[in-house]
């Protein structure tokens, strides 16, 4: 190699070494800088056509990072954020609900109420005991109201969080767009984009905690962002998110894909072309904080509210309605047999159940039909969705007009019997007595007539009375009020009847001639709460439409409490599991780009040695040139 060639090669090697020294020094200086990725600048030999090496070329600084682990961590980060949010909110709800043995829990307050009833049943004349029973009932109703308020506060929180998240994601996407344009520009001029990519990754990493994100790369060095379902978020131009946050959230507010029915905010995306997409309606967001807040707002917390409302409804209905079985009757002359039942107090939402045996099939089949009282001037007849049992045949019993209940029931039964006149009956409006019979010559036989009927007054001779009422109507819950279902938000409206608060003796006095030692009313309330069985809608997240949960009020309260605890524990375990996965991947991600100070110092020594070696080459070349010049003097 000529002297000039040696000088050229040594100079190029020194320049390459200087660049690598700069990169190594930067690595050492940023060892503890958050978000910094280790950089390296590769060098390659400059080779002539004849195969001779004539110098060194140094590449631009690039990051040392495991992109596959980065991709895996972002997916895990989204799932972990989703699980953490659910666990956090459900744990807050569990805290509000209280442990079963807590003095402020529903279980403890219900136990206090039943204890007061038990004492009153044995000492009905004791006025302080009457007042204690009323106070215990108020404490139970108040606690239901407090929990309802707590749930709606959590839903309000998720509504606010969703709005804030939309704004923050817009900021992050704007940051991504700005950095991405710089990267494309620097890449075009063959400059190093390592530092810019670190900043870009920081924004994308944060964005991945909000939604399930997919990151793509383009030939010019830029990136594309989309949701896991392919919905594009960024490709040169970022989309813009908007969220129409609603005001005060209560149990009446709900999300619907039908905008005319929606009373809660929804997340919309506007692309550069101006297209408007409702991401909640399309279900495009499947993980991350956004998905968690929406799921909590529209499902988990709604289920919790429904559980509370169902508890309130069952408490009110069980204490205000009497469960009555019909009395068997027969008429040998008319060749009929059936049942009679008093309907005094029958009101909207009350139900009558007719059981009959169809012997026209082999083997004979027992059938039931449930009649729901309603007012056709205020609403339509209830259908099978009104009851929780999946196999119920439901029909309306119209309270308006002539109120010929016997004819309505007989007509429906005859229709089920093929249209023949098998069933007949009478209704005496003055005595409210219903009689339903079947012809003894037919293949059909009535096996029972029963009903759940509201008390007609606080002193009508029945233990059941208007104790827990809907504060909006002043009436006990029956399922229908003025043609409308009134379950939603009932827990927040339930109160002890002002009449009972003003006159605690109503806890005992169920008739005008009730004796001072008669504990029938408090005992009757206890029996109904302990023994009366009902089926409950799967909308509260317990049971299923095909196999609904069934039990007494006491069973319901226990089941809901257990379900709440189980849901919270499941959410905690899911969050812990996701955290382990996410943290492991995060550690691998960080390790893949971390600066190892010992390694960098060793590299620094190697580069210094290389620099010295190339400097000696230049010194030797200089000495040779000086010798040649001296020889020609």
Of the candidate ranges 129-133, 142-146, 515-519, the one whose mean pLDDT is the lowest: 515-519
Q: In 3D, which of 9, 7, 4, 27 has the Cα closest to residue 598?
A: 27
Q: Residue 60: pLDDT band by 50, 70, 90 thresholds?
A: confident
Please report the pLDDT score of residue 211 as a whole number: 97
DSSP label of 509: -
Question: Quick one: pLDDT at residue 91?
Answer: 96
pLDDT tens-digit readout, 372-425: 999 999 999 999 889 888 888 999 999 998 788 999 999 999 998 888 889 999
HEC readout, 499-548: HHHHCHHHHCCCCCCCCCCCCHHHHHHHHHHHHCCEECCHHHCCECCCCE
| Close Cβ partners of 462 (under 8 Å, ≥ 6 residues apart) | 322, 455, 510, 524
Confidence check: pLDDT of 608 > 90: no
pLDDT at 3 over 80: no
pLDDT at 40: 77
Query: How many Cβ atoms sit within 10 Å of the Cβ of residue 532?
Result: 18
Confidence of residue 13 (pLDDT cuts 50, 70, 90): low
The strand pair at 240-243 and 267-270 is best described as antiparallel
Residues of the chain with pLDDT > 90, as a percent, come to: 70
Instruction: List, for residues 61-90, the tens digit of each pLDDT value.
Output: 788 898 999 999 999 999 999 999 999 999
State the pLDDT at residue 593.
Answer: 85
In eight-state DSSP terms, residue 633 is -
Hunting for tokens 């003097």 — which residue is that?
633
The CA–CA distances, whole Å, from 14 to 20, 42, 47, 266 equal 10, 14, 17, 61
**pLDDT number for residue 189:** 85
Mean pLDDT in residue range 13-38: 75
491 vs 36, more confident: 491
Closest by alpha carbon to 453, among 325, 322, 364, 339?
322
| pLDDT given for residue 520 in this prediction | 93
Looking only at the bridges linking them, the beta strands covering 232-235 and 62-63 are unpaired
Whether the pLDDT of residue 20 is over 90: the answer is no
| CA–CA distances in Å: residue 628 to residues 10, 625, 632 | 20, 5, 7
Lowest mean pLDDT among 7-11, 76-80, 306-310: 7-11
- Find tokens 């006025």 and name the residue: 127
Beta strand 365-374 with 394-398 is: parallel
pLDDT of 312: 97
Other Cβ atoms within 10 Å of 162 Cβ, number: 22
Phi, psi of 506 (to 5 degrees): -65, -15
Please choose, from the candidates 447, 458, 586, 559, the residue with its C-alpha nearest in 3D space to the C-alpha of residue 514.
Answer: 458
Convert the pLDDT of each residue in 541-565 to its tens digit.
999 988 999 999 999 999 999 999 9
Considering only 101-110, 187-196, 328-337, which range has the smallest mean pLDDT?
Answer: 187-196
Q: Does the pLDDT of residue 1 top 60, yes or no? A: no
Measure the CA–CA gap between 386 and 31, rounded to whole angstroms: 66
Q: Reply yes or no on whether the pLDDT at 278 is more than 70.
A: yes
pLDDT at residue 251 greater than cutoff 70? yes
pLDDT tens-place string over residues 579-602: 999 999 999 998 888 887 767 677
The more confident residue out of 117 and 389 is 117
For residue 110, pLDDT beyond 70: yes
**How far is residue 283's CA from residue 231's CA, in Å, rounded to a whole number?**
11
Secondary structure (3-state) at 233: strand
Q: What is the pLDDT of residue 471?
A: 96
Cβ neighbors of 385 (< 8 A, separation 6 or more) are none
pLDDT reported for residue 63? 85
Q: Which residue has the tokens 């009436």?
A: 475
Q: Which residues pair with 225 in a beta bridge?
A: 215, 234
Whether residue 566 has pLDDT greater than 80: yes
pTM (2 d.p.):
0.88
Average pLDDT, the chain: 89
Q: How confident is the model at residue 427 (pLDDT cuts 50, 70, 90)?
A: very high
- Report pLDDT for 291: 97
What is the tally of helices (H) and strands (E) in the chain?
A: 14, 24
How confident is the model over 525-536, as a mean pLDDT?
A: 93
**341-376: pLDDT as tens digits:** 999 999 999 999 999 999 988 899 998 999 999 999
Q: What is the rounded CA–CA span in Å between residue 299 and residue 613? A: 71
Tell me the percentage of the chain whose pLDDT exceeds 70: 89
Residue 156 clears pLDDT 90, i.e. is over it: yes
User: What's the rounded mean pLDDT across residues 240-264?
Assistant: 94
CA dihedral 627, 630, 631, 633 (to 10 degrees): 170
Separation CA 292–CA 9 (nearest Å) = 61
pLDDT at position 603: 65
Indicate if the pLDDT at residue 289 is higher than 90.
yes
Residues 197-213 pLDDT 10s: 999 999 999 999 999 99
């Amino acid at each position: 190699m000529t002297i000039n060639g040696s000088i050229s090669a040594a100079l190029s090697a020194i320049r390459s070494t200087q660049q690598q020294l700069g990169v190594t020094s930067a690595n050492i200086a940023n060892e503890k800088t958050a978000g910094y990725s280790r950089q390296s600048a590769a060098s390659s030999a400059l080779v002539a056509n004849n195969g001779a090496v004539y110098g060194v070329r140094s590449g631009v600084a690039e990051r040392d990072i495991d992109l596959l682990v980065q991709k895996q961590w972002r997916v895990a980060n989204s799932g972990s954020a989703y699980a953490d949010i659910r666990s956090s909110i459900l744990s807050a709800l569990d805290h509000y609900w209280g442990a079963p043995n807590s003095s402020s829990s529903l279980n403890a307050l219900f136990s206090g109420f039943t204890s007061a009833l038990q004492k009153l049943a044995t000492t009905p004349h004791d006025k302080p005991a009457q007042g204690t029973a009323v106070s215990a009932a108020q404490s139970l109703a108040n606690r239901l109201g407090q929990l309802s308020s707590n749930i709606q506060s959590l839903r309000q929180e998720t509504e606010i969080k969703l709005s804030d998240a939309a704004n923050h994601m817009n900021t992050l996407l704007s940051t991504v767009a700005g950095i991405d344009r710089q990267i494309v520009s620097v890449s075009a001029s063959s400059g190093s984009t390592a530092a810019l990519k670190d900043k870009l990754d920081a924004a994308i990493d944060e964005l991945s905690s909000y939604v399930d994100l997919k990151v793509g790369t383009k030939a010019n060095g830029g990136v594309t962002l989309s949701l896991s379902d392919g919905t594009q978020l960024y490709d040169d131009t970022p989309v813009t998110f908007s969220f129409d946050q609603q005001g005060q959230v209560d149990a009446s507010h709900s999300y619907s894909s039908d905008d005319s029915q929606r009373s809660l905010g929804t997340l919309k995306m506007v692309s550069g072309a101006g297209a408007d997409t409702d991401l909640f309606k399309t279900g495009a967001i499947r993980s991350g904080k956004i998905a968690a807040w929406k799921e909590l707002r529209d499902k988990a917390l709604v289920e919790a509210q429904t559980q509370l409302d169902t508890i309130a409804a069952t408490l009110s209905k069980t204490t205000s309605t009497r469960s009555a079985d019909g009395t068997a009757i027969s008429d040998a002359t008319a060749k009929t047999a059936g049942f009679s039942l008093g309907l005094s107090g029958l009101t909207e939402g009350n139900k009558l159940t007719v059981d009959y045996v169809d012997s026209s099939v082999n083997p004979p089949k027992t059938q039931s039909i449930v009649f729901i009282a309603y007012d056709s001037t205020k609403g339509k007849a209830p259908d099978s969705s009104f009851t929780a049992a999946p196999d119920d045949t439901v029909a309306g019993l119209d309270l308006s007009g002539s109120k010929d209940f016997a004819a309505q029931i007989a007509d429906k039964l005859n229709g089920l019997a093929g249209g023949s006149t098998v069933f007949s009956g009478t209704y005496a409006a003055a005595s409210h007595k219903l009689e339903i019979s079947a012809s003894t010559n037919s293949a059909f036989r009535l096996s029972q007539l029963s009903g759940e009927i509201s008390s007609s007054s606080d002193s009508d001779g029945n233990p059941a009375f208007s104790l827990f009422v809907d504060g909006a109507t002043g009436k006990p819950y029956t399922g229908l009020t003025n043609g409308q279902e009134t379950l939603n938000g009932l827990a927040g409206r339930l109160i002890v009847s002002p009449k009972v608060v003003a006159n605690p003796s109503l806890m005992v006095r169920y008739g005008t001639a009730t004796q001072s030692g008669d504990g029938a009313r408090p005992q009757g309330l206890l029996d109904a709460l302990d023994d009366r069985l009902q089926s409950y809608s799967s909308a509260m997240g317990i049971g299923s439409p095909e196999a609904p949960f069934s039990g007494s009020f006491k069973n319901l309260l226990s089941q809901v409490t257990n379900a709440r605890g189980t849901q919270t524990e499941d959410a905690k375990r899911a969050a812990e599991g996701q955290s382990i996965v996410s943290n492991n991947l995060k550690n691998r991600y960080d390790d893949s780009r971390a600066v190892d100070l010992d390694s960098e110092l060793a590299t620094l020594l190697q580069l210094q040695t290389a620099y010295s070696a190339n400097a000696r080459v230049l010194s030797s070349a200089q000495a040779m040139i000086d010798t040649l010049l001296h020889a020609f003097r």
